[in-house]
Amino acid sequence: MGIAIGIAGTAKNTGKTTTTSAIFNELYKHKIQVALTSIGYDGEEIDNITGLPKPRLFVKKNTILATAKKCLEAGNADYDILETTDISTPLGKVCIVKVIKEGLAVVAGPNKGSQLNYIKSRMFNDLNCKVILVDGALNRLAPMIETDGIILATGASRNTDIDVLVEETKALYELLNLPTISKDDLQFLSDIKKIALVPKDSNAKTVFLKYGSLIDNEIVNEIADIIKEIDIKVIFIPALISEFALKTLNDSIGNSWANKDLIISDPIKLIIGGNPETMLKEVNRIKCNDGNIKALKNIPLLAITVNPFYPKYRFDKSSYEPGYINKENLLNKMRTSIEVPVIDIKQEGPSRLLESILSRI
């Protein structure tokens, strides 16, 4: 069995495609069968928004790709179509292909987790891939739940203030590394699709809400009302948790978190719901009130790549031009705050990144 690695950019131009290319080249060097797909579309020559050129992915012979049909005509690589799946995208059906002539490729893969899961199983089980790279973005994080770990590409394009950037990345790291629940609890909770309130009294029935997500006052109030009447030990939220709703829940439960567990499906459901730093603050409030927060599944942050480049807007010319923040400062502050490899991929190359990947195969 291999490993599926998600590569998530925190914004456009954070170096995600550069990171993907570098890992690719390293895997080619080690002759490891590699596959690539993406969540949605990327690899375009010109950035959709800024008009600046973007690198495209160079794929070598025998690489497996999952990409939409129209993308096969773009770029200059040639392919053998192994399967045309039923997965529809605005760029046509997603095809699983093998590269027969190396060249530049445009990848637009499935955009739902369930679809990614299918692609992954075909690549691992039928095509003997050892590493699957999933090109994604912070704003398209949900399908990343199907990966085994994430490499985060961040940098000045996300925020030119280094301190803010480091704080945000640290928050992401801590959220992604929430503790997981025991196997017994996992068995009990993994099939539940609605918010469940599990009483301390083992004879009492678990209360299920109409919704799977914690997204507004109405749902928060319902939970708070139940907690007032029943002594609850676990609040299980299988779907989305919004920043606003978690804050309201904290406000309303407060000290009553003591000896209670908030169990979430995975950290991504939390990260998607709001600003990572605010989310982390709310998570810490639960802990401060002697509550616990755990996840059914974790998606560990394997490494961080940083890019000091950002598209700088010139008001006098009404166009963008390259801008840079202090790279050394960025690397130092990031490395001091976060306990995973922090890499300037352009300068250092991908060998350290590959170590974190290979160690997991």
Partner 1 sequence: MIDKKKVLLAPLDPVHDIGLKMIKRGLENKGHETILIPPDYSPEEIIKSIIDNDVDIVLVSRTLGYGVAEVLGKFIDLAEASGIRDKVKIGIGGMAVRPELAAELGFDAGFGPGTSVDEAVAFVEGREYVPAENRSKKNKKDITEGYDYLFHNKKIEKLLDSIVDGILDYVSDKTTTAIQRAQIRRQILESNSESEKQKLRRDYSKLCDDVIKSFYESGKYREKTRPMTNDEVDALNQYVDAVNSRMNPLYLQHVDKNPVVFIQYGTGCPFMDIAHIKSCEAWGADGAVHFDPSWGARTEGFLEGYITHEEDGSVITYENLKSIKKSLLPNTLWQVRAHRGLNTPETVLLAGKIGADLTKINIAYGSLGGGTDPERLTVDAVEAIKYAAEFNMPFDVVTNEELCGVPAYKAFAGMLIVSKLGLRLGAKPILQPLFCYSPEVMISGQMEDNYVDFNAAKIYCLRNIVNAPIWCGAPIGFLTQTEDRVQSSLMTSLQASLASSLGVDGISIASSDEAFSGGPITIPARIDTLRATQSSFRFFGQSNIVPTDNAHKWAKEIEEGIEAVLELVLKNGNFVNALYQGILGSKEDGAYPGRAGRDSVMKKIY
Question: With binding defined as CB under 8 A, does residue 240 bind partner 1?
Answer: yes
Indicate which single residue of 7, 11, 35, 338 sits in contact with partner 1 (rule: CB under 8 A). 11
Question: With binding defined as CB under 8 A, does residue 6 bind partner 1?
Answer: no
Indicate which single residue of 273, 276, 291, 350 sits in contact with partner 1 (rule: CB under 8 A). 273
C-beta of residue 171 within 8 angstroms of C-beta of residue 277: yes
To partner 1, the closest distance from the beta carbon of 243 in angstroms equals 9
To partner 1, the closest distance from the beta carbon of 9 in angstroms equals 11
Q: How many Cβ atoms are within 10 Å of 30's Cβ, its own excluded? A: 11
Residue 231 CA to its chain's centroid (Å): 35
Indicate which single residue of 24, 41, 236, 309 sits in contact with partner 1 (rule: CB under 8 A). 41
Binding mask of the shown chain, residues 286 to 325, with x at each position contacting partner 1 by CB under 8 A: ----------------------------------------
What does the chain come to in residues?
361
Cross-strand bridge partners of residue 131: 3, 34
Helices (H), 264-322: 267-271, 276-288
Residue 333 CA to its chain's centroid (Å): 22
Question: With binding defined as CB under 8 A, does residue 244 bind partner 1?
Answer: yes
Question: With binding defined as CB under 8 A, does residue 155 bind partner 1?
Answer: no
Question: With binding defined as CB under 8 A, does residue 193 bind partner 1?
Answer: yes
Burial classification of residue 92, based on how many CB atoms lie within 10 Å of its CB (0-12 exposed, 13-18 middle, 19 or more buried): middle
Nearer to partner 1, 26 or 282 (CB): 282
To partner 1, the closest distance from the beta carbon of 145 in angstroms equals 9
The string of DSSP letters for 167-211 reads HHHHHHHHHHTPPBPPHHHHHHHTT--S-EEEESSTTSPPEE-S-
- Which residues make up the interface to partner 1 (CB under 8 A)? 11-12, 39-42, 44, 48-50, 68, 88-91, 108, 111-114, 137, 139-143, 193, 211-213, 215-216, 238-240, 242, 244-245, 268-269, 272-273
